[in-house]
Structure 1
Amino acid sequence: MNLPNKLTLFRIILIPVFLILLLPLFNEKSFLPISLDLGRIIAAIVFVIASFTDYLDGAIARKRNCVTTFGKFLDPIADKLLVTSALMALIQLGDISAWAAIIIIAREFIVTGVRIIAANDGVVISASNLGKAKTFIQMLAIFFILLRDFPFSLITNIPVGQTLLWLAVILTIYSGYDYLKANWDRIKN
């Protein structure tokens, strides 16, 4: 197994670590000048590390010319697992609207369905640039929601994380439409 695929698997392994850190047993208050649990801070750091592996695995695979079908398949699944797990945890914590998560997760199921149809035809569909931008904004939103908009919360009342989340929802809808449009002939057959 090559390094990019190992990084993708590492991202998947970090998901339960991230979720465990959000459990109430890690509710120790942090040293920051806002109401933020230490578990959330560490969870946000783990989330950033997991998110960074998304960039890193692709960059290494392209640079070393070791892009694999397995990697093309597993990388977007790892992204979906990470983002979906984080969204579900944030709903449980009362930090985000279930509607935002439902829209994002529904799009991921639809796109995964299209990928399965394409795979049955022997075609592996890589993530588009729009899809990559969508994933980046989703991950950025989750990070700021985890940190309750710190450090922005010290200087403004604008809900940065929520604003980014709804921007991600818009990108999610648009990229889902774009994905369906680009693969419509494959779907209808």
Structure 2
Amino acid sequence: MPFLRQFRAAPNLLTLLRLFIIPFLVINILDGRWTLAFGLIMLAGISDGLDGVIARWLKQITTLGLYLDPIADKLLLSTLFLVLTHVGAIPRYVTVLVFSRDLGILLIATLLFATNTLRNFRPSIFGKLNTFVQIIAVVGIMGGHVFAIPYLSTVTGLLLRAIAVLAPLSAAQYAWIVIQRVSTPVADAPTPPA
């Protein structure tokens, strides 16, 4: 599929919708309109779940979608961490640890990709767990401003402490994986017959 036509693929339109939601999410959180902000984060979550299903169902898996989807997810989550830290809902140290991890991984991945050292950079187990806990924590924090759920603030506090542990732990795991993969010698190619 030509590159410009990839923008019109249904899954990519859903991903673009998720990116379009971000500024309105920020505005509503900053203005204290938590119900609307919570509705927008739910809409973003639904679009994230649907884009992959629709891509497989309509056979519209595109190169653009493979790059755009994780970028949209990371941008949404990072923006939420920043704005929720700004309004005092997430401690600064947690956001600093999350951003330090993400920036370190991005720099290493870019360097390895640019030098053609390592092209396959899959998420690690701790990385996936870290992202999952971040999503649950953000939804819990925002939900706590909308719904009166007993012990929710205690649960989100524990989730934030877990993120503070998982972020550096997953960064260390990525570093270990990269060191192992880069230092593993490539098997010599067989010599062709004379």
Q: TM-score surpassing 0.5?
A: yes
Contact 1:104–1:172, Cα closer than 8 Å, also in 2: yes
Q: Does 1:139 align with 2:146?
A: no
Separation in structure 2 between the aligned mates of residue 88 and residue 78 of structure 1, nearest angstrom: 15
Q: Which runs of 5+ in 2 are unaligned?
A: 1-5, 184-194
Shift of 1:78: 1.5
Q: Cα distance 1:128–1:6, how it changes in 2: closer, same or farther (>3 A)?
A: farther
**Paired position in structure 1 for 2:160:** 165
**Greater CA radius of gyration, 1 or 2?**
2
- Under a length normalisation based on structure 1, what TM-score does the superposition of the two structures give? 0.75
Separation in structure 2 between the aligned mates of residue 176 and residue 62 of structure 1, nearest angstrom: 31
Separation in structure 2 between the aligned mates of residue 131 and residue 59 of structure 1, nearest angstrom: 23
Count of matched residue pairs: 173
Q: Does 1:6 align with 2:13?
A: yes
Q: Which amino acid is 2:99 matched to?
A: I
Separation in structure 1 between the aligned mates of residue 53 and residue 16 of structure 2, nearest angstrom: 16
Separation in structure 1 between the aligned mates of residue 10 and residue 126 of structure 2, nearest angstrom: 25
Shift of 1:112: 1.6
**Paired position in structure 2 for 1:182:** 177
Separation in structure 2 between the aligned mates of residue 13 and residue 61 of structure 1, nearest angstrom: 19
Shift of 1:94: 1.2
Contact 2:34–2:145, Cα closer than 8 Å, also in 1: no
Q: Which runs of 5+ in 1 are unaligned?
A: 28-38
Q: Cα distance 1:62–1:118, how it changes in 2: closer, same or farther (>3 A)?
A: farther
Q: Cα distance 1:15–1:168, how it changes in 2: closer, same or farther (>3 A)?
A: same
Alignment of 1:111-122 (within 5 A): 111-120=105-114, 121=116
- Under a length normalisation based on structure 2, what TM-score does the superposition of the two structures give? 0.73
Q: Which amino acid is 2:29 matched to?
A: L
Separation in structure 1 between the aligned mates of residue 125 and residue 48 of structure 2, nearest angstrom: 14
Shift of 1:186: 4.4
Greater shift, 162-171 or 80-89, is seen at 162-171
**Paired position in structure 2 for 1:33:** none
**Paired position in structure 2 for 1:76:** 70
Q: Which amino acid is 2:176 matched to?
A: K
**Paired position in structure 2 for 1:91:** 85
Separation in structure 2 between the aligned mates of residue 106 and residue 5 of structure 1, nearest angstrom: 29
Q: Percent identity?
A: 28
